[in-house]
């Protein structure tokens, strides 16, 4: 695209588009980065510059940006049945097949699948199901849902309430009632001096138990958690964390909900993050890599116990009055089915396991860098946390915008990374090859060195 056209699209964007997760004031002068094409793990902007997409878009494009089979699956389904719904006992063949497929690969026995269009809708649905279920079984007071500080569960009214990040609440008048936030299990940040990972996990479980007791166990219904906390800063549970948290939940009959929106479908080296960490959830939400991000689809899987109670409640009321026009849309379902088929055919899990050592070694290579406080990762997800002082772990003043500066320098060097404050996350397409992993970290390293130069200059 020539420069005049690029300039024009920038001003058209500023005139018309409201951007999510953007400093709207800054955007009025800086404008957008306009991406026009994708190929494998790369995307290209309107000036023709190529970037390696180190976050797979928004943690979602597992099969990269040019999987023709997904486009063809959508096209075939568009011609056959472009729309139908699942309200009032209607169904379509692809929706049924996708539900069967998901149940067959679920990490723990699950009974039914409810389709939605986004991770936020999935988690919003979960909140309603927790309440519906407890009303159904005669526990109308057991309604509180625990989530973790720095957890990310979406942006709708209920799911943003679950999200444990201040900016998602501030001036949106959130969180709503009955959502409580408990400790963030980030050992590097919140572990006490000299405290082992295991001791920290014990403290997390004790603190959870205290919170349940102080709230009253008969009022606490569920806890929602990502196996790996994504948007809160790619945070991994400390050793023994789930072994200690789950017995506490069980003791007080608090249901566990696994938010697999990022971890699901191979990200951590197993099909589910739940499996990687030995979690035994009663409900699971998934999205993103379910369709490799090609079309919006997400799902909630529920256990037989929850389903059985819902059946009774809907019989009493006359209907289960929840659902979206596009719940289980046939075209998105067809693309999701094709995505799962491709995962099997190319054995995506073996591929992820094969390239994981290279990815983890890449992260590791930054451990001595003066700006890097912690590097962390599992499977093909990881992060580097930038600090002002390595020995004290002192962070930079958020106003300095160090992470944002690094992301900008990344653009210059041909890599798109996500800066969550001063945490830089990596979550590349699962199909990434070893030489592309090397290239990704080489480009990141250049951006990191530029950032160090800027810090030293300041």
Ligand X SMILES: Cc1ncc(COP(=O)(O)O)c(C=O)c1O
Exactly one of 227, 230, 264, 328 binds ligand X (CB under 6 A); that residue is 230
The contact mask relative to ligand X for 59-88 (x = CB under 6 A, - = no) is x-----------------------------
* Residue 269: CB minimum distance to ligand X, A: 17
Tell me if 231 contacts ligand X by CB under 6 A: yes
What's the angle, vertex CA 205, arms to CA 203 and CA 208, rounded to 5? 110
Q: Which residues within the stretch 97-116 sit at the binding site for ligand X (CB under 6 A)? A: none
Q: Tokens 């037989």 belong to which residue? A: 304
Please name the residues in contact with 336: beta carbons below 8 A apart, sequence gap of 6 or more.
98, 290, 291, 295, 297
Integer Cα distance of 252 and 360 in angstroms: 38
* Residue 124: CB minimum distance to ligand X, A: 9
Kindly tell me which of 123 and 291 has the beta carbon lying closer to ligand X. Answer: 123
Q: Which residues within the stretch 275-294 sit at the binding site for ligand X (CB under 6 A)? A: 287
Helical pair 348-364 and 330-345, crossing angle rounded to 10 deg: 80
Tell me if 363 contacts ligand X by CB under 6 A: no
Exactly one of 54, 56, 257, 262 binds ligand X (CB under 6 A); that residue is 262
Taking the C-alpha atoms of 327, 332, 337 and 341 in order, what is their torsion angle to the nearest 10 degrees? Answer: -150
Q: Tokens representing 31?
A: 């404008």
Tell me if 261 contacts ligand X by CB under 6 A: yes
Strands (E) across 78-189 are located at 112-116, 144-148, 179-182
Which region among 33-41, 150-158, 316-324, 328-336 touches ligand X (by CB under 6 A)? 150-158
The contact mask relative to ligand X for 364-393 (x = CB under 6 A, - = no) is ------------------------------
Tell me if 124 contacts ligand X by CB under 6 A: no
Tell me if 257 contacts ligand X by CB under 6 A: no
Burial of 193 (0-12, 13-18, 19+ CB in 10 A): exposed
Secondary structure (3-state) at 111:
coil
Exactly one of 119, 175, 185, 373 binds ligand X (CB under 6 A); that residue is 119
Exactly one of 65, 115, 132, 152 binds ligand X (CB under 6 A); that residue is 152
Q: Tokens 């790619």 belong to which residue? A: 234
Tell me if 161 contacts ligand X by CB under 6 A: no
Which region among 74-82, 151-159, 193-201, 348-356 touches ligand X (by CB under 6 A)? 151-159
Tell me if 153 contacts ligand X by CB under 6 A: yes
Q: Residue 97's CB: how many other CB atoms inside 10 A?
A: 15
Integer Cα distance of 290 and 59 in angstroms: 11
Q: Tokens representing 108?
A: 């723990």
Kindly tell me which of 248 and 261 has the beta carbon lying closer to ligand X. Answer: 261
Interface positions with ligand X (CB under 6 A): 58-59, 118-120, 123, 152-154, 226, 230-231, 259, 261-262, 287
């Amino acid at each position: 695209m020539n420069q005049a056209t690029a300039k024009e699209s920038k001003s058209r964007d500023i005139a018309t588009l409201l951007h999510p997760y953007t400093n709207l004031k800054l955007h009025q002068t800086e404008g957008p980065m306009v991406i026009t094409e994708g190929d494998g793990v790369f995307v290209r902007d309107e000036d023709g510059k190529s970037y390696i997409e180190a976050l797979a878009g928004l943690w979602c494009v597992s099969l990269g940006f040019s999987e023709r089979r997904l486009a063809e699956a959508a096209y075939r389904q568009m011609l056959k049945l472009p729309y139908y719904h699942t309200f009032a006992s209607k169904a379509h063949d692809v929706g049924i097949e996708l539900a069967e497929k998901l149940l067959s690969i679920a990490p723990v026995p699950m009974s039914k699948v409810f389709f939605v269009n986004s991770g936020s809708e999935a988690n919003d649905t979960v909140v309603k199901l927790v309440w519906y279920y407890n009303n159904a079984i005669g526990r109308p007071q057991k309604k509180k849902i625990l989530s973790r500080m720095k957890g990310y569960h979406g942006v709708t009214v209920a799911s943003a309430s679950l999200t444990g990040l201040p900016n998602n609440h501030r001036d949106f008048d959130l969180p709503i009632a009955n959502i409580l936030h408990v400790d963030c299990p980030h050992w590097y940040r919140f572990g006490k001096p000299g405290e082992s990972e295991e001791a920290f996990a014990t403290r997390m479980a004790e603190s959870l138990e205290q919170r349940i007791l102080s709230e009253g166990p008969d009022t606490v219904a569920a806890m929602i958690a990502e196996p790996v906390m994504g948007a809160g800063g790619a945070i991994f549970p400390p050793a023994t964390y789930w072994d200690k948290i789950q017995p506490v939940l069980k003791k007080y009959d608090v249901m566990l909900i696994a938010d697999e929106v990022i971890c699901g479908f191979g990200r951590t080296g197993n099909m589910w993050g739940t499996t990687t960490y030995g979690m035994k959830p009663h409900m699971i939400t998934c999205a993103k890599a379910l369709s490799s991000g090609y079309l919006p689809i997400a799902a909630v899987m529920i256990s037989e116990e929850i389903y059985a109670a819902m059946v009774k409640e809907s019989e009493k009321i006359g209907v289960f009055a929840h659902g979206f026009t596009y719940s289980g849309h046939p075209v998105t379902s067809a693309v999701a089915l094709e995505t799962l088929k491709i995962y099997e055919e190319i054995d995506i899990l073996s591929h992820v396991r094969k390239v994981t050592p290279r990815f983890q070694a890449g992260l590791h290579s930054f451990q001595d860098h003066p700006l890097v406080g912690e590097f962390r990762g599992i499977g093909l997800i990881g992060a580097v946390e930038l600090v002002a002082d390595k020995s004290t772990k002192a962070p930079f003043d958020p106003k300095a915008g160090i992470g944002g500066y690094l992301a900008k320098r990344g653009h210059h060097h041909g890599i798109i990374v996500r800066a969550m404050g001063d945490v830089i996350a990596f979550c590349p397409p699962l199909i990434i090859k070893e030489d592309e992993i090397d290239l990704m970290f080489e480009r990141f390293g250049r951006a990191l060195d530029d950032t160090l130069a800027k810090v030293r200059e300041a």
